[in-house]
Amino acid sequence: MRNAIRGLDVKDPLTTSAFDRRRSRMLRLWSLMLLATTVPRAVYLLRKDAVLLAMLECSLTVSSLAMLVLVRLQLLRAASFVFATSAVLGVAGVALLVDIPSPGFPRTVHLFLIPTCIANIFLLQNEPPPIRVGLSALILAMFCLLGLYPLDLGVTAMTDLSGQRIAAFVNTLSAALAVFVVVTVMLEEAKETLKSEADFARAIIEGEIQAFLQPQRLADGTIVGAEALMRWRHPERGFVSPADFIPIAERSGLINQVGQGILENVCNAMLRWQDIEALNNIPVSVNISRVQLKPASVAQLVEAVPKTLSNQGLIKFELTEPIFVDDFADTCELLATIRARGICISLDDFGTGFSSLGYLRQLPLDDLKLDQSFVRHLPADHKSVKIARGILNLGRDLGFDVIAEGVENRSQLESLKDMGCTRFQGFLFHRPMPLLEFEGLILKNILHREPPPRANDATEQALALHC
């Protein structure tokens, strides 16, 4: 369960959020603008025999091409940091070595730092405040320093007035164009966010947000549990990717309402299962967002779980590692309150967050989930094999049940079985399904023994990822 954006159940690794699509667009536009300005400057400097300065411009050209490649590979976080670093160092280098202010023409290249700062805030909006705010403050400080003081390193290729005039015109025009592009993309993001929040609120009222269950199985196919996932079935767009609507739900605070509704729906179904022998002993884990992990919200969640289920330990709250980074002591206290009511705690995506063994010793956990990023490369990648085996051994030694998620083919299953893993979840067995379909699956397993799972072909996996 790895995504640029974390939430309740962003399970589809191939989905791209609306924010990532706009971030990709901004990075591509910025890369093209840099290419349009750095290439002509490099040519001009080479004609002036300023090879060293031309190499500086060429380095910016290479950075622009690198950003385009990273965007193509969907490595948007890396592309965003390459953008910020290359923009700051490039502007500083050009300002100190090439764009030396004179009485007739002031320095203009530092104007690029204004759109750079705005774009940086947009591109890194999901980063921790020290990174996002600190880098933006550094850019603004550099803008003020280069604009107010005629700093230089004693080297300049702009000795003729015509060259200075052209450079000042191109820099000012390009910086203004960059501000326009960045602000336009940000306004589009804000407008789309407001529209999406209104659409999501409507979906809650119309009952379009549903709970789907993905079975968790033993190697022999026996279903021993399930994970509840949130799905949005839009009347026009079909299934909306969780990567799109989970961040909207968290940012707007609607996650509390819709998460509460999902939990209540699951509990109501499980109460009905109590009268069905094949279903009355199957635990279900429900994802809890970090937004919900507040005392008032936790109290509501706990009260929504009937004692009939909590007394048997049939309900689990599934949390991700980033939840524990802030206010660790308070979080542990909340989790202890949850477990005191008979609700189990499952730690999702283990090995991808802070993964502090000291914290792990203090957390009141029942389950660990081996993240699919380690499962995906089994058994070919030897490092993934060692990490997966280490996590499985650690979980067993600490008395936790360990569930491997993201199992998509039989070679992964066999590799995990060789490591001693006994519980599995993934498209090799079943995709997420509605509650009634899950009930029918359990009853079918009781009446008819199903054949062993087979590896999905590429088409089946692609379809499953979008369900």
The rounded distance, in Å, linking the Cα atoms of 210 and 67 is 38
Name the β-bridge partners of 370. 350, 404
Q: What is the pLDDT of residue 160?
A: 61
At 283 the three-state DSSP class reads coil
Q: What is the pLDDT of residue 155?
A: 56
Say yes or no to pLDDT of 1 above 60.
no
Say yes or no: 331 and 451 in one domain.
Answer: yes
Q: Considering the domain boundaries, does residue 204 fall inside one?
A: no
Say yes or no: 403 and 457 in one domain.
Answer: yes
pLDDT band at 269 (very low <50, low <70, confident <90, very high): very high
Q: Of 193, 221, 252, which residue is a domain's last?
A: 193
Other CB atoms closer than 10 Å to residue 352's CB: what's the count?
17
Mean pLDDT of the region 141-151: 86
The rounded distance, in Å, linking the Cα atoms of 307 and 195 is 40
The rounded distance, in Å, linking the Cα atoms of 43 and 40 is 5
CB within 8 A of 174, min separation 6: which ones? 33, 36, 37, 112
Q: What is the pLDDT of residue 446?
A: 63
Share of the chain above pLDDT 70, in %: 85
Which residue range(s) make up the domain with 318?
209-465
Q: Considering the domain boundaries, does residue 9 fall inside one?
A: no
Q: Of 165, 193, 221, which residue is a domain's last?
A: 193
The rounded distance, in Å, linking the Cα atoms of 113 and 144 is 10
Say yes or no: 294 and 219 in one domain.
Answer: yes
Q: Considering the domain boundaries, does residue 8 fall inside one?
A: no
CB within 8 A of 85, min separation 6: which ones? none
Say yes or no to pLDDT of 398 above 60.
yes
Other CB atoms closer than 10 Å to residue 40's CB: what's the count?
14
Say yes or no: 364 and 421 in one domain.
Answer: yes
Say yes or no to pLDDT of 225 above 80.
yes
CB within 8 A of 104, min separation 6: which ones? 161, 164
Query: Looking at residue 356, which CATH number applies to its domain?
Result: 3.20.20.450
76 half-sphere exposure, CB direction, 13 A CA radius? 24
Say yes or no: 322 and 285 in one domain.
Answer: yes
Say yes or no: 239 and 335 in one domain.
Answer: yes
Say yes or no to pLDDT of 5 above 60.
no
Q: Considering the domain boundaries, does residue 389 fall inside one?
A: yes
Most confident of 142-151, 208-217, 247-256, 349-358: 208-217
Say yes or no to pLDDT of 7 above 50.
no
The rounded distance, in Å, linking the Cα atoms of 413 and 40 is 55
Mean pLDDT of the region 142-165: 71
Cα torsion through 124, 127, 131, 134, rounded to 10:
60
Q: What is the pLDDT of residue 202?
A: 92
- Considering only residues 155 and 250, tell me which one the structure prediction assigns the higher pLDDT: 250
pLDDT band at 367 (very low <50, low <70, confident <90, very high): confident
Say yes or no to pLDDT of 85 above 90.
no
Q: Considering the domain boundaries, does residue 350 fall inside one?
A: yes
Residues 302 and 288 sit within 8 Å (Cβ to Cβ)? no
Say yes or no: 303 and 395 in one domain.
Answer: yes
Q: Considering the domain boundaries, does residue 294 fall inside one?
A: yes
Distance of alpha carbon 207 from the chain centroid: 26
Q: What is the pLDDT of residue 12?
A: 38
DSSP state at residue 112? G
Helix 18-47, helix 242-252: angle, nearest 10: 100
Say yes or no: 264 and 411 in one domain.
Answer: yes
At 214 the three-state DSSP class reads strand
At 345 the three-state DSSP class reads strand
Say yes or no: 359 and 432 in one domain.
Answer: yes
Residues 210 and 425 sit within 8 Å (Cβ to Cβ)? no
- Considering only residues 71 and 466, tell me which one the structure prediction assigns the higher pLDDT: 71
Say yes or no to pLDDT of 421 above 70.
yes
Say yes or no: 186 and 228 in one domain.
Answer: no
The closest alpha carbon to 64, from 92, 41, 94, 36, belongs to: 36
DSSP state at residue 325? T
How confident is the model over 43-69, as pLDDT tens digits? 877 887 777 778 888 888 898 899 999
Q: What is the pLDDT of residue 212?
A: 95
Mean pLDDT of the region 229-250: 88
pLDDT band at 258 (very low <50, low <70, confident <90, very high): very high
DSSP state at residue 194? H
Q: What is the pLDDT of residue 435?
A: 92
Question: pTM above 0.85?
Answer: no
Say yes or no: 378 and 436 in one domain.
Answer: yes
Say yes or no to pLDDT of 463 above 50.
no
Say yes or no to pLDDT of 266 above 90.
yes
Q: Report, in this order, helix, strand and coil percent for the chain, each rounded to 5.
A: 60, 10, 30
Mean pLDDT of the region 351-366: 69
Say yes or no to pLDDT of 6 above 80.
no
Q: How deeply is 292 buried, as exposed, middle or buried, from its count of CB atoms within 10 A (0-12, 13-18, 19+)? A: buried
Q: What is the pLDDT of residue 452?
A: 46
Q: What is the pLDDT of residue 125?
A: 83
Distance of alpha carbon 118 from the chain centroid: 22
The two three-digit tokens of residue 466, written as one number: 């979008």
Q: What is the pLDDT of residue 163?
A: 64
Domain count, the chain: 2
Q: Is the sign of the CA dihedral 329, 334, 337, 338 positive or negative? A: negative
Q: Considering the domain boundaries, does residue 1 fall inside one?
A: no
Q: What is the pLDDT of residue 8?
A: 37
Cα torsion through 271, 277, 279, 280, rounded to 10:
40
Amino acid at 2: R
Q: Of 193, 220, 241, which residue is a domain's last?
A: 193
At 285 the three-state DSSP class reads strand
Say yes or no: 225 and 188 in one domain.
Answer: no
Q: What is the pLDDT of residue 354?
A: 52
Most confident of 49-63, 121-135, 197-211, 239-253: 197-211
The rounded distance, in Å, linking the Cα atoms of 351 and 348 is 9
CA distances (Å), 383 to each of 14, 105, 376, 378, 390, in order? 23, 58, 12, 9, 11
Mean pLDDT of the region 93-109: 79
Average pLDDT, the chain: 82
Say yes or no to pLDDT of 10 above 70.
no
How many Å from the N-terminal Cα to the C-terminal Cα in the chain?
Answer: 15
Q: Considering the domain boundaries, does residue 264 fall inside one?
A: yes
At 262 the three-state DSSP class reads helix
